[in-house]
Structure 1
Amino acid sequence: MYDVFASSTASRRNGNSPFSRRVSSQDIDEHAEQVSDWQLTYDQMTAGRFHGELTEFSLDWMQVIRDRTNQSLIKRGSAKPGTINFSIPLSFSGDFYCDGHLVSEGNALVAHADDLPQLRTPDEMDLVMITVDQNILEQELVLQGIAFESTHLPKTYQLKGLALPQNLRNILAELEYGSAHAQFDLSDECIRRQFRDAIMLQLFELLPSSQPIGITPSARKRTVDRACEYALAHLDEPLSILDMCHTLGASRRKLQYCFQETLGTNPVAYLRALRLNAARRELRQGAAQVSVQEVASRWGFWHLSRFSSEYRAMFGERPSQTLHR
């Protein structure tokens, strides 16, 4: 499974920066010690040589960790102080226990940093852990109309029927590939914000809003008009749905409803179309020394092949064709 591991028993760090780290290890204690600002203890429960791979991203008030291991482990400890931790399995093989209870496939765990339950992980575990500053998380959830009582944690949430694991896998793939191949620079606050907001939108899917939506057609139109006006006035900034939510004081669910009823599309598709059109205009200008990759990343498209595919689907030609016309 882990082709990246050679015969060396020492951990290896690849392409590390203040905002991203990748560590591989064949020592279980060393692996546990690598998670920044966490205090963890791992005990190996199954026989065989341990292989672990840890990828970590620091996105200001959010920490994203992908932990891949090949043996069943007992995990205990605490996360980064002052945070709420979301532990979401992307894939696993075997039984998974949380505080002595068997966890069925399709569950996510949410817990306080200092109250992480003991886990017994299965073999071949691929787990993403997302820690969010508790104060910021609670502010975001109020805006989204999501009832969330942190005193009720730890708690498990159903993943069944949600695209959350696959969407997180895609976001992590972009982060990992982009960092490893220098497609973008995470020292850019704007880029960190884009990824952070994309992850937050996925967490909102895990904690759905119970807030009713009652809004007249004229009010829906005003909301969409304000959102469009704001987006068009900031075309030089890769906006996110959370930017719109903060500006309009509206939840993601309300924006979704207003756009769908008024324009027959959703705000994500609307923003993507605006960014694709802005990228096309820049490519048409054909400035000296500009590259498709530079233009794509400037407009918030971090995955070049995906950008090219979406661009060709929208405009009927490749970005390079537009650039060199």
Structure 2
Amino acid sequence: MKEMEKTCLHDNESLLCTIHSNDANHQAENLINWQQQFDQLSRGRFVGVINEIHFPDIHVFREETSQQLRQQCQIEEGGLWLGFSADNKSCRINNQATRSEQFLCRPGGHEFELLTPENFSIFGLVLHRSWLKQWLEQNDELADNAFDCLYLEGVAPQLIFSFRQYLSLLLQADGHRWSSLTQQLILKDAVFELLSLAQNAPATTMVSAQRQRLMQRVKSYLHEVDLSAPLTIDEICAAVHVSRRTLQYAFSECLGMSPKHYIKVIRLNQIRRALLQSEQQQTIAEIALEHGFFHLGQFGQDYKNLFGENPQQTRHRHFSHS
């Protein structure tokens, strides 16, 4: 199976591209002008598809992913990302559970995290900074940080339904095709209406600030810790100064999983990225040991359970396509 396959259709004015991927790391690289990294959290082979059109001021896409993912994302400074479920499934953004009909929202230059379920499909729009700046200037009652929020409220269900229908049609290869200029005008008008009606998410619906701060401390600690050393829950609790129960509650509310499971899948994803580096000369056993796996038989089983293939298959498949 190919690591990635890309097809593009021209209509003389715009370009619709479809990109297929069978690895979460490649899926993360396939959306251009994004800084992002994906960690696969659920078990099984990954299948991903992106349908996208790049207009001068707006990038619109639909992304489909087969496995549960932790996505660390960031778009260019000055731009704006809007996203909403294409299939009525909810996800989490920066540890906050969302409803399937909400428009997610993050300004450019700010890293954010998505936790998406299995078999998830999401529409995304990235508004270029030049267009967003112009729109804010035309709506001078809004501050520059008007969309520094996790999601937008106040959007009528009918508007969401119509917007979903339009994007579905726009991103179909065999759907009705308008001229590029007409597509842009319709899309900009819809986005303009959306931003005009939307309101920032009320603070009362957010995950408690205390647990947000706790999760940030935990993730900072895990980023700095020696990967080759065993890591216990008690060590994490001591490092961030909380009890085991408090830590368990925070992970359950913010990520929907236990700290132990989270650490294991993050390390397995780090190993997979190491195996996919063409210049990598270390053995699989050496890589596993460097990431805290000392029982190699159990490591191999955990890896296969998560990714649907053993580490040798990952390395062989990668080098066979290098």
Name the TM tier (shorter chain).
0.5 to 0.7
Match of 2:4 in 1: 11
Q: What is the deviation of 1:191?
A: 2.9
Deviates more, 1:84-93 or 1:28-37: 84-93
How many angstroms apart in 2 are the aligned matches of 1:14 and 1:185? 20
Match of 1:36 in 2: 32
How many angstroms apart in 1 are the aligned matches of 2:100 and 2:155? 9
Preserved contact between residue 80 and residue 131 of structure 1 (Cα < 8 Å)? no
Match of 2:53 in 1: 57
Q: Percent identity?
A: 16
How many angstroms apart in 2 are the aligned matches of 1:13 and 1:82? 29
Preserved contact between residue 170 and residue 177 of structure 2 (Cα < 8 Å)? no
Q: What is the deviation of 1:64?
A: 0.9
Letter in 1 for 2:184: R
Match of 1:173 in 2: 168
Alignment of 1:1-325 (within 5 A): 8-17=1-10, 19-93=15-89, 96-143=91-138, 147-150=142-145, 153-158=148-153, 161-177=156-172, 179-180=173-174, 183-186=177-180, 190-204=181-195, 206-207=197-198
Q: What is the deviation of 1:12?
A: 2.4
How many angstroms apart in 1 are the aligned matches of 2:161 and 2:141? 23
Q: What is the deviation of 1:35?
A: 0.4
Distance 1:101 1:155, change over 3 A: closer
1:164-194, Cα deviation, whole Å (9 max, x unpaired): 43222222233223x54684453xxx23432
Letter in 1 for 2:153: Q
Deviates more, 1:25-34 or 1:99-108: 99-108
Q: TM-score, normalised by structure 1?
A: 0.53
- Alignment size in residue pairs: 197
What root-mean-square deviation, in Å, do the aligned CA atoms of Structure 1 and Structure 2 show? 2.9
How many angstroms apart in 2 are the aligned matches of 1:194 and 1:160? 20
Letter in 2 for 1:197: K
Preserved contact between residue 25 and residue 51 of structure 1 (Cα < 8 Å)? yes
1:195-234, Cα deviation, whole Å (9 max, x unpaired): 432432342355269xxxxxxxxxxxxxxxxxxxxxxxxx
Distance 1:201 1:182, change over 3 A: same
**Greater RCO structure (CA 8 Å; 6+ sep):** 2
Q: TM-score, normalised by structure 2?
A: 0.53
Structure 2: stretches of 5+ with no match in the other structure: 201-322
Distance 1:14 1:89, change over 3 A: same
How many angstroms apart in 2 are the aligned matches of 1:102 and 1:81? 25
SS at match of 1:150: coil
1:218-277, Cα deviation, whole Å (9 max, x unpaired): xxxxxxxxxxxxxxxxxxxxxxxxxxxxxxxxxxxxxxxxxxxxxxxxxxxxxxxxxxxx
Structure 1: stretches of 5+ with no match in the other structure: 1-7, 210-325
How many angstroms apart in 2 are the aligned matches of 1:167 and 1:205? 16
Distance 1:84 1:181, change over 3 A: closer
